[in-house]
Amino acid sequence: MTSRTSSWFRLITLSGIFFLFFTYLSPILFSLVPAWQRFVAVQDEIGVASGALYYTDVAVTQDAEAHVREAVRLGMEERATQRKAQTD
């Protein structure tokens, strides 16, 4: 096999392995591990959106990012004002 064919074969094989793991093996593991079930139950009880910690398309994350950007912008403006006052 050529290097290019070998690379494509590895890519397709790894993709298949990931597909099988996330589609079939993960749910089986989830049903066998009580700690994961408890983790999800607690999140549901207290209303935590764990996706907000990892994904940027969650509204909470977008709001937090907007506030951080605004705080940084205001801080930079304040710093520029202080430097200008020091030089005058």
Residues 76 and 53 reside in one and the same domain: yes
Return the pLDDT at 18.
95
pTM recorded for the entire structure: 0.45
Contact between 51 and 58 (Cβ < 8 Å): yes
Residues 43 and 2 reside in one and the same domain: yes
Please state the three-class secondary structure of 53-75 as a single string: HCCCCCHHHHHHHHHHHHHHHHH
Residues 35 and 57 reside in one and the same domain: no
Which amino acid appears at position 81 of this protein?
T
Q: Report the phi/psi class of residue 49: left, alpha or beta, with left for phi > 0 and alpha for psi in -120 to 50.
A: beta
Which amino acid appears at position 37 of this protein?
Q
Q: Is the pLDDT confidence value at 30 over 80?
A: yes
Domain boundaries, position 64 = 49-88
pLDDT in tens, 37-74: 898 888 888 887 776 666 655 676 778 888 999 999 99
Count of domains forming the chain: 2
pLDDT band at 2 (very low <50, low <70, confident <90, very high): confident
